[in-house]
Structure 1
Amino acid sequence: MSLNSQIAFIARCTAAAAGLAALGACSQMPKMDVFSVSGDKVLGLVQPYRVEIVQGNVVTKEQMEQVKTGMSRNQVREAIGSPLLTDVFHDNRWDYVFTIRRQGAAPQNRRIQLTFDGEQLTKIEAPDDLPSEKEFIAAIDTTKVKKDAPKMEMTEEERKALPPPVRQAAATPEPMGPVRDYPPLEARR
């Protein structure tokens, strides 16, 4: 057997062993379609990055409390902003739609519909479970802040319990201008 045929035989054996190892590794994978995306993971192993999608107007409970029937379109716009949708065929209806999908937070969908008669607001259709500003921020906050986070402010009692600051003696004023420890260069000769 020549040297070239021995090298070719070793290469074929190595390729066959690598193929068998790859097939053996496949038996350890979860049983699923090769291109399956189930839940948040691809192939049951990798979690891809999901783009945050925010669409529409955030309208909170505090904002909706300012809106009353009989208000003008401009007053409504100042209270809760411009509508996301204005229907060409229904000029008397404004739709405020809000959706958000963030990784690690539950998706949110809300729809508010306001109906006008001319320039005056006549009907308000809003969900009863509109969040307050604090509730909305808490719902979209995906940072997992530890409950043992350090306290950032002192109470008035804690401030009063502090010892008074120690006053230091006035320091001697520093001289103005340059200070020389050596004779000027002109004097050296």
Structure 2
Amino acid sequence: MRPLLASLPLLALLGGCSNLPSWATLPSVTGEKVLGFVTPYRVEVVQGNVLTKEMVARVKPGMPKAQVRDLLGSPLLTDVFHESRWDYPFTIRRQGAPEQQRLVVAEFDGDKLKTLTVPDDLPTENEFVSAINTFKPSGKQPKLALSEAERAALPPPKKSAEAAPTAAAEGPAPGRVYPPLDAKPGAGS
């Protein structure tokens, strides 16, 4: 009698499975839905360097490697066997948006930039922001820079000469005495 009572909850659970599609007609797990009705969460994957048309336009042939690194960032791939080539790949996979893949290749002759290979579909900054903006369907793009009128309305920055007397008037915090920064270690005071 006990085995029969113990198996009743299991039978009740299995009875609920009769509404599921048959195992032969199930879509694969890599499809949009699992078991016909469950949509799995897909992790958003962003890899590589985000480069835009504005960033690439500042790079000119003949620039040294250090300057190219300052403008484009460190390359994601550098090959030990091909030190004269830097690869800047970029991949983004987001749920609800098409996958984006780009590759910018910088080739050097010694320390100077020889060529910069840029894909035709490299976006501008505004195009890139709107392409990854999947959570705000309004289509309104965030503001990336101030206008001249907004810059003029900003208060002028305080000069360091004005800020120094107020700090000196208050004096150092009680109990804190620091040696001068140009003092050499081991020199007596």
Aligned-partner residue type, residue 69 of structure 1 = P
Q: Does 1:120 align with 2:112?
A: yes
Long gaps (5+) in structure 2: 141-189
> What pairs up with 1:15-54 in 2 under 5 angstroms?
19=11, 22-23=14-15, 25-33=16-24, 36-54=28-46
In the alignment, which of 135, 139, 145 is matched to residue 127 of structure 2? 135
Decide whether aligned partners of structure 1 residues 144 and 122 sit closer, same or farther in structure 2, where only a CA change above 3 A counts: same
Aligned to 1:85: 77
Conserved 8 A contact 1:38-1:44: no
Amino acid at match of 1:91: E
Secondary structure at 2:69's aligned position in 1? Answer: helix
Do the aligned partners of residues 17 and 122 (structure 1) sit closer, same or farther apart at CA in structure 2, a change above 3 Å counting?
Answer: closer
TM-aligned CA deviation for residue 115 of structure 1: 0.6
> Partners in 1 of 2:130 and 2:118 — Cα distance?
21
How far off its partner does 1:119 sit? 0.8
Q: 2:89, 2:102 within 8 Å by CA — same for their partners in 1?
A: yes
Q: Secondary structure at the match of 1:82?
A: coil
Shift, 1:67, TM fit: 1.2
Q: Give the C-alpha shift of residue 36 in structure 1.
A: 3.5
Percent identical among aligned pairs is 51
Whether the 8 Å contact between 1:37 and 1:44 is mirrored in structure 2 is no
Cα 1:90/1:13, change in 2 over 3 Å: closer
Aligned equivalents of 2:44 and 2:110: distance in 1?
A: 38
* Structural mapping, 1:46-125, within 5 Å: 46-125=38-117
d(CA) in 1 for partners of 2:139, 2:110: 52
Summarize the Cα distance change of 1:87–1:144 in structure 2 as closer, same or farther, 3 Å threshold. same
Query: TM-score, length-normalised on structure 1?
Result: 0.62
Deviation at 1:128, TM superposition (A): 1.1
Number of paired residues? 139
Deviates further, 25-34 or 84-93: 25-34
TM superposition shift of 1:19 = 3.8
The amino acid that maps onto 1:142 is T
Contact 2:130/2:139 (CA < 8 Å) preserved in 1? no
Change (3 A) 1:134 1:68: same
Looking at structure 1, the residues matched to 139 and 52 of structure 2 have their Cα atoms a distance apart, in angstroms, of 26
SS of aligned partner of 2:19: coil
The 8 Å contact of residues 27 and 36 in structure 2, kept in 1 or not, is answered as: no
Runs of 4+, deviation exceeding 6 Å: none
Could you tell me which amino acid in structure 1 is paired with residue 67 of structure 2?
Q
Rate the CA distance shift 1:144–1:70 in 2: closer, same or farther, 3 A. same
Supply the distance in 2 between the matched residues of 1:87 and 1:94 (Cα, whole angstroms): 8
